[in-house]
Structures are given as structure tokens and as C-alpha cells.
């Protein structure tokens, strides 16, 4: 059973696609002729909007929602201290300027990343180097807790050993 195109009411709607505008999903059904006229669809496909338009749509959505509560917020728009990029500029061009932008814009990134990827937490590969550092930092944390406990219970011999271990791990980190 084929659906008639709601635009012309003549031809069957053979194209069914999902559009995302400002984070809102809408279903559209059109015939090929009307879809082409509306610029929604090009033969071959690439559903009418490019991914970059979609991306800047997502970003604009962020800007609008952050502007509305108060305009003063615009003036305190965060700026990356390293590369000088403001959040406003980021949302226009859709590109970060440097790796520190992530820290600077972190509060605003979660909703954006969630809309693009459906998630905000990395699950993939970790550089060996980072992996090693992470482990050392976690070990250090544990050792410091142990040290505090052994000092408290006046086990000085153990405390001295723990201090040595901590010192050698700290040296590894600063290498």
C-alpha cells in the first residue's frame, strides 16, 4: 500500500527520511519530484542537508538556548586562553582551535557531543603513555592513603618504605 505524496497529492511518496532540525526529529514523506523541488532530496541521495549544516544546526541550537536566559551571558562567553577561540566563534565554524578548548568549553560540550554521538564518554583506545601515567597517578593516590594511615598508627618503618615508593613514582611521572 503506497502513501500519496502530501505535497502534490498525485504521485506516491517514495522517499521517507528523517530530518533533524535543532535537535528535533521530523519524519518526511515526499515523491521524488516534490522532494527535488523543495531541495530536500537530490537524486542519488545525501538527504538534502549536509552533515555540516546539521552540525551548525546543533550548535546554533546551543547558542539560542544559552542566549535566552540572559544577554549578559554573551559577554562572559568563554574564550580559550591558549588559542583565543570564543565559544561563539566555535559555534559558527564548528571547529575547535586547540586541545585546551575542550577544557574551556567543557560545560557546554556535553549536550553537543550527546546529540552528535549519543554519548559523552570515550570508550576506545587509550595511548600507552597516558595509560601508564594514569596507572601511576592511581597508584600514587593509594600509596598516599596508606602512608597517612601508617603515620596515624605510628608504623614508622612502613611509612618510610611508602615514602620511598611515592618518591620513585613521582620521579617516573616527571620524566
Partner 1 sequence: MSLNHFLENAMSEWMRVKGADSDVIFSSRVRIARNLAHIPFPMLSTASQSEEVIHLIEEALTKDDIPEILENAELIQMADLTDLQKRVLVEKHLISPHLAEESTSGAVLFSQDESVSIMVNEEDHIRIQCLFPGFQLEKAWKLASQIDDWLEKHVSFAFDEQCGYLTSCPTNVGTGIRASVMIHLPALALTQQLNRFIPAITQVGLAVRGIYGEGSEALGNLYQVSNQVTLGQSEEEIINKLQGVVRQMIDHEKQARERLLGMSPIQLEDRVTRSFGILAHARIIDSKEAMKRLSDVRLGIDLDLLTGVPSSVMNELMVLIQPGFLQQYAGEKLGAEERDIRRAELIRERLGMERD
97 binds Zn ion per the rule CB under 5 A: yes
Q: Which three cell numbers stand for residue 116?
A: 552528535
Please identify, among the stretches 15-23, 67-75, 100-108, 157-165, the one whose residues bind Zn ion according to the rule CB under 5 A.
100-108
- Binding residue count for partner 1, defined by CB under 8 A: 45
129 binds partner 1 per the rule CB under 8 A: yes
39 binds partner 1 per the rule CB under 8 A: no
> Which of partner 1, Zn ion, none interacts with 5 (beta carbon under 5 to 8 A by kind)?
Zn ion
Please identify, among the stretches 61-69, 76-84, 146-154, 158-166, the one whose residues bind partner 1 according to the rule CB under 8 A.
76-84
CA atoms within 13 A on the CB side of 88: 8
Q: Rounded to an integer, what distance in angstroms lies between the CA atom of residue 99 and that of residue 122? A: 15
Q: Are 21 and 28 in contact (CB under 8 A)?
A: no
Closest among 120, 113, 115 to 96, alpha carbons compared: 113
53 binds partner 1 per the rule CB under 8 A: no
State the nearest-atom distance from the C-beta of 115 to partner 1, in Å.
Answer: 10
CA angle 152, 168, 135 (to 5 degrees): 90
Burial profile 25-46: b = 16 or more Cβ within 10 angstroms, e = fewer: eeebbbbeebbeeeebbeeeee
49 binds partner 1 per the rule CB under 8 A: no
State the nearest-atom distance from the C-beta of 67 to partner 1, in Å.
Answer: 20
The total of other beta-carbon atoms located within 10 Å of residue 79's CB is 17
User: Would you tell me which residues interact with partner 1 (CB under 8 A)?
Assistant: 14-18, 42-47, 51, 55, 82-85, 93-99, 102-103, 109, 112-113, 116-130, 134
| Residues at the site binding Zn ion, with contacts judged by CB under 5 A | 5, 7-8, 11, 31, 34, 80, 82-83, 97-98, 100-101
Amino acid at each position: 500500500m503506497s502513501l500519496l505524496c502530501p505535497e502534490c497529492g498525485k504521485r506516491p511518496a517514495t522517499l521517507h527520511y528523517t530530518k533533524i532540525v535543532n535537535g528535533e526529529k521530523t519524519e518526511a514523506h515526499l515523491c521524488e519530484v516534490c522532494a527535488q523541488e523543495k531541495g530536500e532530496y537530490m537524486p542519488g541521495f545525501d538527504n538534502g542537508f549536509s552533515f555540516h549544516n546539521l552540525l551548525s544546526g546543533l550548535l546554533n541550537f546551543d547558542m539560542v538556548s544559552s542566549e535566552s536566559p540572559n544577554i549578559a551571558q554573551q559577554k562572559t562567553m568563554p574564550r580559550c586562553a591558549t588559542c583565543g577561540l570564543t565559544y561563539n566563534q566555535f559555534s559558527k565554524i564548528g571547529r575547535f582551535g586547540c586541545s585546551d578548548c575542550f577544557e574551556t568549553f567543557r560545560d557546554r560540550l556535553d549536550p553537543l557531543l550527546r546529540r552528535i554521538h549519543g554519548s559523552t564518554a570515550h570508550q576506545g583506545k587509550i595511548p600507552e603513555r597516558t595509560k601508564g601515567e594514569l596507572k601511576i597517578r592511581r597508584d600514587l593516590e593509594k600509596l598516599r592513603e596508606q602512608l597517612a594511615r601508617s603515620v596515624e598508627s605510628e608504623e614508622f618503618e612502613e611509612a618510610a618504605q611508602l615514602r620511598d615508593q611515592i618518591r620513585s613514582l613521582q620521579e617516573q611521572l616527571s620524566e
